[in-house]
Amino acid sequence: MRTTIGVDIGGTKVAAGIVDSDGRIGDVVKHPTPYGDGEALADVVGRAVAELRERHTGAPISAIGVGTAGFVDADRATIVLGANLGLAEEPFKERLRRRVDLPVVVENDANAAAWAEVRFGAGRGSEHVVCVTLGTGVGGAVVMNGELQRGRYGVAAEVGHYRVVPFGRRCGCGNHGCWEQYASGRALVGEAHDLARAEPKRAERMAELAGGDPEDIQGREITRAAVEGDEGALACFRAVGEWVGLGLADLAAILDPELFLIGGGVSDAGDILLDPVRESFARHVTGRSTRRLADIRIAELGSAAGIVGAADLALR
């Protein structure tokens, strides 16, 4: 059985793990992510790889797969833009190769996580899958005919930045009305804050969980209150679920997948999110009276997906 190391580079931490060819993680190490310095980042990843190799001398490593936030070029070598890492046109593959002396593949983190779900998680057995990650923003990845679709320049499936409201809310990408402004974890928190200002009584439980100040309400308080059955929190999930379902309906018109997978922190709410998403999707999808509707599921692998997917892409 061949063994690889998968690395997941996030804005705050680097996590690296030993992964076998069946997608099982044997060991994980974590280090803080340096900001704005490609050499320092390569040092951190190289050190994590060295630690894992020292711990597992009996398992020869065949390759290193790196999943990173940001745009990665078509050659899977350069971080074209990693805004949360403070990097641009960063030749990360070459930097890391000099430190590890192994084949290296660099991939977008959403692509890596989606690939893990299709190979080993909630998407097993499906060949036409769209994965949507609902976190601070909205990320995406597309697998068609069993192949990861990266686009001509490597930056396909940035679904959070297609515009659902012309001249709508300002987005950090520079445009207005992007889907992630209405369907993300940030949007969920915005719904709760708006509710607290307009109808304070309906937000009382969320504010209580946040320590008493409605302005401190975050996603965990909204989710906990919703699980308890709090109507105000459930209304926030219904509002965001409506937007998520609407966006999936538009993606279905373009891509016609058999399956949508929903991941990210917002998906921790499970059916509290899925129910309004499915209802909205069924209302908005084109040809709804005659077409076969895609299934919509919650992703299974959680925080392990990035490591597993990056490792498997390197193996393949």
- 173 pLDDT tier (thresholds 50, 70, 90): confident
- In whole numbers, what is the pLDDT of the chain averaged over residues? 94
Length of the chain: 316
pLDDT in tens, 286-297: 998 898 999 999
State mean pLDDT over 164-171.
94
Q: Quick one: pLDDT at residue 80?
A: 93
**How far is residue 292 CA from its own chain's centroid?**
26
Query: 150-155: which pairs have CB atoms within 8 A and are 24 or more residues apart?
Result: 150/74, 150/108, 150/111, 151/74, 152/74, 153/73, 153/74, 154/71, 154/72, 154/73, 154/74, 154/75, 154/76, 154/80, 154/108, 155/71, 155/72, 155/80, 155/108
State mean pLDDT over 157-180.
93
Task: Check: CB of residue 165 under 8 Å from CB of residue 123.
Answer: no
- 259 pLDDT tier (thresholds 50, 70, 90): very high
State mean pLDDT over 90-110.
95
Cα–Cα distance for residue pair 21/17, rounded to 1 Å: 13
- 223 pLDDT tier (thresholds 50, 70, 90): very high
CA distances from 155 to 62, 161, 237 (A): 27, 12, 30
State mean pLDDT over 273-284.
97
Task: Check: CB of residue 7 under 8 Å from CB of residue 66.
Answer: yes
**233-265: string of b/e by CB count within 10 Å (b at 16+)?**
bbbbbbbbbbbbbbbbbbbbeebebebbbbbbb
Domains annotated on the chain, with CATH: 3-117+304-315 (3.30.420.40), 126-299 (3.30.420.40)
Q: Does residue 59 carry a pLDDT above 80?
A: no
pLDDT in tens, 38-47: 999 999 999 9
Task: Check: CB of residue 192 under 8 Å from CB of residue 200.
Answer: no
Q: Does residue 131 carry a pLDDT above 80?
A: yes
pLDDT in tens, 142-152: 999 999 999 99
Q: Quick one: pLDDT at residue 84?
A: 81
Q: Quick one: pLDDT at residue 251?
A: 97
State mean pLDDT over 48-77.
91
pTM: 0.89
Of 159-163, 187-191, 258-262, the range with the lowest mean pLDDT is: 159-163
Q: Which of the 8 DSSP states describes residue 58?
A: T
Cα–Cα distance for residue pair 159/254, rounded to 1 Å: 12
Q: Quick one: pLDDT at residue 172?
A: 83
**Share of residues in the chain with pLDDT > 70 (%):** 100
